[in-house]
Amino acid sequence: MIMDELSERQIKELDIDWYCLIQGKPVHIASSGGMIPEQFRDLKELRFKQDRVANMEPIAEAKLNIENIQTQIQEGYEYLQDEMISAAIVDANRTNPGFVYLRDYELPVRLFASTFVEKARKGFRSYIRKEGVEGKDEFILIAEPTKPFRFENNQLGLKELECKMKGDDGFVIEVE
């Protein structure tokens, strides 16, 4: 059987949400134009998992890794200083569950972290590729469920990712 696999060009040009297990725990990773390990590139499988996760109901509360988020929003959110733009963004996102969930946070945090929070509320530790790391892809934790979660019977068919965890907290993973 031939897989319909994402090309290297597609992977580098897109921000692709992919899913795996790390040490038996469900994980969501936003690629942000970084490489995706070969065993996770099957387009049909990716779409199946993305659709299933999109249709899952929240099962947990989420906590943010504010330190990692702050590193991601240092630049690029200056336009939110304009009150009209800010008001339009808040209005456009008034029904976005992750955005609403983060209502007590500043607007840049809400905009950046809303999709990560949604994944965390569905039981996933949610990571993004860290910019500026040469030679390896490093991913930093943005949000996670407040209580550890494991899917019964692995109904999504998640595969284990072989990677290195940096530090004891699992806030950074390194994929070679």
Q: Which residues are registered as beta bridge partners of 63? A: 144
- pLDDT at site 12: 73
Q: What is residue 111's predicted lDDT score, i.e. its pLDDT?
A: 96
CA distance 63 to 169: 14
Nearest to 45 by CA among 20, 77, 12: 20
For the chain, which residues make up each domain, given as ranges?
8-175
Of residues 154 and 123, more confidently modeled: 123
Q: Are 15 and 32 in contact (CB under 8 A)?
A: yes
70: tokens are: 């702050």
- pLDDT per residue over 109-130, tens digit each? 999 999 999 999 999 999 998 8
> What tens digit of pLDDT does each residue of 40-76 get?
888 899 999 999 999 999 999 999 999 999 999 999 9
Query: Counting beta carbons within 10 angstroms of the beta carbon of residue 76, is it exposed (0 to 12), middle (13 to 18) or buried (19 or more)?
Result: exposed
**pTM for the structure as a whole:** 0.88
